[in-house]
Amino acid sequence: MSYAPSTAAGKQTAQQLADISRTLYARGWMPGTSGNISMRLPDDPGRALITASGRDKGELTARDVVEVDALTGRASPPGQDRPSAETSIHAAVYRVTEARAVIHVHSPYATVVAHRAASPDTVSSVRVDRFELLKGLGLKDPTVTELPVFPNWPQVERIADDVAARLAVDREGPPGLLLADHGITTWGDSLGQAKSRLECLESLCQLLVLSRSELHVSRA
């Protein structure tokens, strides 16, 4: 069942998700049905809208989203279309941080870094330092960060548990994470901020790849 928002805030949020989805699709970061975007409802931050599963992100409309409980990822109300398969990861971010929006895409350079730095059975991290773009992430120390890379477990809930555990102890870490062989997830106080941070992190990953230097990877 397509989403039918009952409030002006719901309609506006759904349209924002559709608009940014098409923008990121046009950049080649959400090919086909890949990727997912969510945003807390401004009038009820305990609920969020997230892109529905299996939708072409280049043709997404305001009706191609699902309303879920922001902290659990469960569809609310029931009977809607199926939410993205990675809804539990968005919920993990919302539970542990003050994020209002989360974006997951398959941008090429972040995916390459995630592929090169991943460990098959533990969380690893990639050191990023010196680049000016680090200032765009809102870090306490804008000269260096450790970007976490999570194993891409077949059970998405297991990934979500890993993410929640990491964010709970690393509250000053970057507002983003990589999934092994999969892509990148970022978040922010608004959809615009999450998108800006995504652009910065993808560009930083591009610089790491183009520098052709060995990645500085640490294992948890």
Considering the entire predicted model, what is its pTM? 0.95
pLDDT at residue number 220: 66
6 pLDDT more than 80: no
- Per-residue model confidence as pLDDT tens digits over 21-57: 999 999 999 999 999 999 999 999 999 999 999 999 9
65 touches 3 (CB < 8 A)? yes
2 pLDDT more than 90: no
Tokens matching residue 204: 């930083």
Question: What residue spans define the domains of the chain?
Answer: 8-215
- Per-residue model confidence as pLDDT tens digits over 106-124: 999 999 999 999 998 999 9
Task: Return the CATH number of 8-215, one of 3.40.225.10, 3.40.640.10, 3.40.367.20, 3.90.550.10.
Answer: 3.40.225.10
Tokens matching residue 133: 């773009």
